[in-house]
Chains A and B, each alone.
Chain A
């Protein structure tokens, strides 16, 4: 690790330490993670998990702490609306909970939903385990500073056997401020045994300002619980957004994730899943579409730890201009996870000679009778398809967009919520040039 405290980013984030919370265990965890961040600094590209994402430029920047005026930032609520999504909503602007933009009245039975800042003032004990974590990995810098500095986020619980059919919307908005800000969000989502939940996580921009946000989410699925999780990342083009989502599935639990990464200047998502209980199942589908100078890095790590666990992951990347996409899909089938079935594919398109995508599937198997398949490709649009469309009268630029959108759409097809699926497909098309 290189001279940590000297980096402007590190010192500016350390300067933003939170006041005492009144909870000894929480203050201890914050202090220790802060110290670990100060000692470890930022990982460089010699750390495997950060090999393709250099933090040099980010390390030279300074960010102001939190946003004291977050409550008064202008955000047009209509820009956050998604078709067919009109259930409970929790909105954070520059990291701060905004009651006026949220919808927390008449929650369905079995759903508990509140901002972390309020949950800590009530009964914080159930959060103690999640918020006391220490991050020890060489690549954990942002999880550390998040644990040290996060003062708000989402606390969501679904009671055993409750079925929450109407999607819950979690929105994180970056809004214009006097200076570039750093904020940190901490989410805890717990699904009780036999419960089900539909969740839409949105990252949106109310300005193009180059803020830095970190977001750490712990998502626990009890036995036979079922989660549908859609992530729409449309952060400001100048923003840096570092997320870590950790899922843990108990026996026969099922999680399905659809992720669309469109925005941000520097975007990193660590998606870590433990298939901890027998027969648990994970399906991930994702699209990342960096353009201009964007850098979007997804690190998917799935651990099969129990019998007959299943994971299926299909990700597509499209890079244009001088943008860069990074995808790492690591699957580990641990000893004892016999009869597991793991498949992973990542197909990528490069739309311009200056674009780059680095993809790395990894598979480690230590169990018996395992079915596993993985593959990654990087290619260009098929000239035969392009000519076919042109020969029917479709101009080349439009034909390219149509084919690229179709390439991406393949991973949205199994999203059951049709209005949302069409909305995401339209965003994909709109993100492409010349349409």
Chain B
């Protein structure tokens, strides 16, 4: 079934038009890769989906599980199951990682009308996820992302995703700045979370991540529009020929 339907999306940042008529359909269970050169609008798409302030949608629509996503506040989107793994996770000194995650999970549960977890229940959940994600619990006791290495920050994003169990996960250049071991670890985390109910939108500049997380669809984003769509072989083609030859085949926009 259709989870996300983006139609003719136009968005501005600081008065400059970045997205210029982007359309994309994502079904539950699918993994979509969005690739493209710098400045194409990849991160803007992620930020518009998550509801960051300063990203102004001037035309088009985004329907998520039949609901107008653009009408929701960021926290309501999160509660509805949208998760953005940040390209640059924010350091928050003074807020303990565990405390933060529990506050986030319970805030989401509260908005969904579910019972909040007490600290014992939460701890049990966290331990399960740590085991599955193969992450040391040392990260939990520190302040959110504070003093974390680049790799630790990205792993922490994936760990948050594992605990919050979103329906639609958007990974904004989660692979950037990672060495090969960290990349494998992040990819393994994502693969663990793949399920028929969950969809992924992986925004990436390089094909490297796609060696480890095999996408169902690959889209090329250039100058604010999806100019080409295909299967994983498209990523390999890009790797060989770069972005210069793109846009020659018909953009399919609504994949699947």
Instruction: List residues of chain A with CB under 8 Å of any chain B CB.
Output: 382-385, 387-396, 398-399, 402-403, 405-407, 409-410
The answer, yes or no, to whether B132 is at the interface (CB within 8 Å) is no
The answer, yes or no, to whether B17 is at the interface (CB within 8 Å) is no
Q: Is the CB of A398 within 8 A of B92?
A: no
Q: Is the CB of B94 within 8 A of A389?
A: no
Q: Is the CB of B84 within 8 A of A391?
A: yes
Q: Which of A382, A390, A393 contacts B105 (CB 8 A)?
A: A393
With a CB–CB cut-off of 8 A, which chain B residues contact A394? 75, 103-104, 107
Q: Is the CB of A393 within 8 A of B53?
A: no
Q: How far is the CB of A91 from chain B (nearest CB, A)?
A: 34
Q: Which of B78, B83, B93, B164 contacts A390 (CB 8 A)?
A: B78
List 17 additional A-B contacts (Cβ < 8 Å) besides A389-B104, A390-B78. Answer: A387-B74, A389-B100, A390-B75, A391-B51, A391-B74, A392-B78, A392-B100, A392-B108, A392-B164, A393-B107, A393-B108, A394-B107, A395-B75, A398-B103, A398-B107, A399-B75, A402-B103
Q: Is the CB of A393 within 8 A of B93?
A: no
Nearest residue, chain B, Cβ from A394: B107
Q: Is the CB of B78 within 8 A of A403?
A: no
C-alpha gap A388/B92 in the complex (Å): 9
C-alpha gap A113/B74 in the complex (Å): 56
The answer, yes or no, to whether B58 is at the interface (CB within 8 Å) is no
Instruction: List residues of chain B with CB under 8 Å of any chain A CB.
Output: 50-53, 73-75, 77-79, 83-84, 86, 89-90, 92-95, 100-101, 103-105, 107-108, 111, 143, 160, 164
Q: Is the CB of B104 within 8 A of A387?
A: no
Nearest residue, chain A, Cβ from B111: A393
Q: Which of A383, A385, A396 contacts B73 (CB 8 A)?
A: A396
Q: Is the CB of A406 within 8 A of B93?
A: yes
C-alpha gap A106/B77 in the complex (Å): 60
Known interface pairs A393-B105, A393-B108, A402-B95; A388-B90 also in contact (CB < 8 Å): yes
Known interface pairs A392-B160, A392-B164, A393-B111; A384-B103 also in contact (CB < 8 Å): no
C-alpha gap A410/B93 in the complex (Å): 8
Nearest residue, chain B, Cβ from A412: B94
With a CB–CB cut-off of 8 A, which chain A residues contact B95? 402-403, 406
Known interface pairs A391-B84, A394-B107, A396-B73; A384-B79 also in contact (CB < 8 Å): no
Q: Which of B52, B53, B93, B107 contacts A395 (CB 8 A)?
A: B107
Known interface pairs A388-B86, A392-B160, A393-B105; A406-B94 also in contact (CB < 8 Å): yes
Interchain residue pairs A-B with the least CB separation, the first 8: A406-B94, A393-B78, A393-B108, A392-B104, A390-B74, A388-B90, A393-B107, A406-B95
Q: Is the CB of B53 within 8 A of A407?
A: no
With a CB–CB cut-off of 8 A, which chain B residues contact A391? 50-52, 74-75, 77-78, 83-84, 86
With a CB–CB cut-off of 8 A, which chain B residues contact A389? 92, 100, 104
C-alpha gap A382/B105 in the complex (Å): 22
With a CB–CB cut-off of 8 A, which chain B residues contact A409? 94
Q: How far is the CB of B14 from chain A (nearest CB, A)?
A: 14
Q: How far is the CB of B185 from chain A (nearest CB, A)?
A: 21
Q: How far is the CB of A93 from chain B (nearest CB, A)?
A: 37
Nearest residue, chain A, Cβ from B82: A391
Q: Is the CB of A403 within 8 A of B92?
A: yes
C-alpha gap A402/B105 in the complex (Å): 15
Q: How far is the CB of B166 from chain A (nearest CB, A)?
A: 10
Q: How far is the CB of A428 from chain B (nearest CB, A)?
A: 11
Q: How far is the CB of A232 from chain B (nearest CB, A)?
A: 20
Q: Which of A388, A392, A396, A410 contacts B94 (CB 8 A)?
A: A410
Q: How far is the CB of A85 from chain B (nearest CB, A)?
A: 25
Q: Is the CB of A383 within 8 A of B53?
A: yes
C-alpha gap A394/B102 in the complex (Å): 10
C-alpha gap A410/B92 in the complex (Å): 11
Q: Is the CB of A393 within 8 A of B90?
A: no
Q: How far is the CB of B103 from chain A (nearest CB, A)?
A: 6
Nearest residue, chain B, Cβ from A407: B94
Q: Which of B79, B95, B143 has the most CB of A within 10 A?
A: B95
With a CB–CB cut-off of 8 A, which chain A residues contact B111? 393, 395
Q: How far is the CB of A50 from chain B (nearest CB, A)?
A: 34
With a CB–CB cut-off of 8 A, which chain B residues contact A396? 73, 75
Nearest residue, chain B, Cβ from A405: B94
Nearest residue, chain B, Cβ from A402: B95
Nearest residue, chain A, Cβ from B86: A388
Q: Is the CB of B79 within 8 A of A393?
A: yes
C-alpha gap A395/B108 in the complex (Å): 9
With a CB–CB cut-off of 8 A, which chain A residues contact B84? 391
With a CB–CB cut-off of 8 A, which chain B residues contact A398? 103, 107
Q: Which of A387, A399, A402, A405 contacts B53 (CB 8 A)?
A: A387
Q: How far is the CB of B114 from chain A (nearest CB, A)?
A: 12
Q: Which of A391, A394, A396 has the most CB of B within 10 A?
A: A391
C-alpha gap A422/B255 in the complex (Å): 53
Q: How far is the CB of B139 from chain A (nearest CB, A)?
A: 16
- Report 6 cross-chain contacts, Cβ distance below 8 Å, ordered by A residue: A385-B90, A391-B52, A391-B86, A392-B78, A392-B107, A398-B107
Q: How far is the CB of B242 from chain A (nearest CB, A)?
A: 32
C-alpha gap A410/B77 in the complex (Å): 31
Q: How far is the CB of A429 from chain B (nearest CB, A)?
A: 11
